[in-house]
Amino acid sequence: MKKLLIALLLLTYSAHADDGYRLWLKYDLIKDAARRDTYARSAQFIAVSGNNPILTTAAGELQAGLQGLVGKAIPIITNAGNRTGGIILSVSTAPNADGQALNNEGYRISNRQNNIFIAGKTEAGVLYGVFALLRQLQTQQPITSLNLTSNPKVQYRLLNHWDNVNGTIERGYAGSSLWKWYELPERLDPRYRDYARANASIGINGTVVNNVNASPRFMTGEYLQKVAALANVFRPYGIRVYLSVYFPAPRTVGGLKTADPLDPEVRAWWANKVKEIYSVIPDFGGFLVKANSEGEPGPQDYGRNHADGANMLAEALAPYDGVVMWRSFVYKADPKGDRFKAAYEEFKPLDGQFNKKVLVQVKNGPIDFQVREPFHPLFGAMPQTPLVMEFQLTQEYLGFATHMVYEAPLFKETLESDTYANGKGSTVAKVVDGSLHGYQITGMAGVANTGSDRNWTGHTMGQANWYAFGRLAWDHTLSSEVIANEWVQMTLTNEPKAVKTITDLMLRSREVYASYTNPLGVHHIMGYGIHYGPEPWLDKAPRPDWRHTYYHRADSVGIGFDRTATGSNALSQYTPEVQKQWSTMETCPLPYLLWFHHVPWTKQLRTGRTLWDEFVTRYYTGADSVRWMQQQWAQVKPAVDPEIFEDVAGRLAVQQKEAIWWRDACVLYFQQFARRPIPAPFKKPERTLEEVKRLVDIYQMR
Please say which residue, 208 or 571, places its beta carbon nearer to ligand BDP: 208
| Interface positions, 89-108, toward ligand BDP (CB under 6 A) | none
Asked if residues 696 and 527 have their Cβ atoms less than 8 Å apart, the reply is yes
Please give the Cα distance from 281 to 276 (Å, whole number): 9
In the complex, the smallest distance separating the C-beta of residue 597 from ligand BDP, rounded to whole angstroms, is 25
C-alpha distances (whole Å) from 222 to each of 99, 162, 229, 408 are 50, 20, 11, 39
Nearer to ligand BDP, 290 or 471 (CB): 290
Residue 360 beta carbon to ligand BDP: minimum distance, rounded to whole angstroms = 14
CB of 548 to ligand BDP, least distance (A): 14
555 is an active site residue: no
Beta-carbon neighbour count of residue 339 at 10 Å? 23
Closer of 328 and 656 to ligand BDP (Cβ) = 328
In sequence order, what are the residues at sequence separation of 6 or more whose Cβ sits closer than 8 angstroms to the Cβ of residue 460? 20, 491, 644, 647, 648
Residue tagged active-site, from 32, 183, 294, 539: 294
In DSSP terms, 119 is beta-bridged to 90, 108
- 387 conformational bin, left if phi > 0, alpha if psi -120 to 50, beta if neither: beta
Quote the Cα angle for 114-89-100, to 5°: 85
Strands 87-91 and 286-289: unpaired
Cβ-based nearer residue to ligand BDP, 196 or 538: 538
Beta carbon nearer to ligand BDP, 213 or 452: 213
Q: Return the exposure string of 58-87: e unless at least 16 CB atoms fall within 10 Å of the residue's CB, then b.
A: bbbbbbebbebbbbeebebbeebeeeeebb
By C-alpha distance, which of 524, 546, 544 is closest to 536?
A: 524
Task: Answer yes or no whether residue 396 interacts with ligand BDP by CB under 6 A.
Answer: yes
Compute the chain's Rg from CA coordinates: 26
Interacting positions 235-264 with ligand BDP (CB under 6 A): none
Furthest C-alpha separation in the chain? 82
φ/ψ of residue 666, rounded to 5 = -75, -40
Nearer to ligand BDP, 369 or 670 (CB): 369
What part of residues 452-471 is at the interface with ligand BDP (CB under 6 A)?
none
Give the one residue of 270, 329, 516, 561 binding ligand BDP; rule: CB under 6 A.
329
Nearest to 611 by CA among 503, 547, 520: 520
Mask for 135-174, x = binds ligand BDP (CB under 6 A): -----------------------------------xx---
CB of residue 290 vs ligand BDP: minimum separation in angstroms?
5
In the complex, what is the shortest distance from the CB of residue 130 to ligand BDP, in angstroms, rounded to a whole number?
34
185, 179 in Cβ contact below 8 A? Answer: no
Nearer to ligand BDP, 362 or 483 (CB): 362
Instruction: Compute how many residues bind ligand BDP; rule: CB under 6 A.
Output: 9
Q: Which residues contact 8 (CB under 8 A, 6 or more apart)?
A: none
Region of 341 (left: φ > 0; alpha: ψ -120 to 50; beta: rest) is: alpha
Known catalytic residue at 433:
no
Kindly tell me which of 368 and 624 has the beta carbon lying closer to ligand BDP. 368
Comparison of 290 and 618: residue with beta carbon closer to ligand BDP = 290
Give how far the C-alpha of residue 648 lies from the chain's centroid of Cα atoms, to the nearest Å. Answer: 21
Which of residues 368, 495, 504, 577 is near ligand BDP by CB under 6 A?
Answer: 368
Q: How far is the CB of 291 from ligand BDP (least distance, A)?
A: 11
Among residues 170, 189, 315, 368, the one annotated as catalytic is 368
Among 90, 213, 252, 569, which residue interacts with ligand BDP (rule: CB under 6 A)? Answer: 213
Establish whether 368 is a catalytic residue: yes
Pairwise CA distance, residues 407 & 399, whole Å: 12
Nearest to ligand BDP by Cβ — which residue? 368
> In whole angstroms, how close is the CB of 567 to ligand BDP at the nearest point?
24
Of the pair 398, 461, the CB lying nearest ligand BDP is at 398
CA 455 distance to own-chain centroid: 17
Closer to ligand BDP by Cβ: residue 171 or 341: 171
Catalytic residue among 338, 346, 396, 413: 396
User: For residues 644 and 623, what is the distance between their CA atoms, to the nearest angstrom?
Assistant: 23
Q: State the binding string over 288-327 for ligand BDP (x if CB under 6 A, else -).
A: --x-------------------------------------
Task: Transcribe 558-572 into DSSP letters.
Answer: EES---STTTT-GGG
Between CA 383 and CA 351 the distance in angstroms is 7
What residues between 170 and 199 interact with ligand BDP by CB under 6 A? 170-171
Report the residue from 131, 369, 516, 595 that binds ligand BDP according to the rule CB under 6 A: 369
Contact 460, 647 (CB under 8 A): yes
Compute the Cα dihedral for 607, 611, 613, 615 and give only its sign.
positive
In contact, 693 and 537? CB cutoff 8 Å: yes
User: What is the torsion angle, in degrees rounded to the nearest 10, for the CA atoms of residue 330, residue 334, residue 339 and residue 341?
Assistant: -90
Tell which positions 274-293 bind ligand BDP, by CB under 6 A: 290
- We find the least distance from the C-beta atom of residue 470 to ligand BDP, in angstroms, to be 20
Active site residues: 294, 368, 396
Residues of the shown chain interacting with ligand BDP in the complex, contacts defined by CB under 6 A = 170-171, 212-213, 290, 329, 368-369, 396
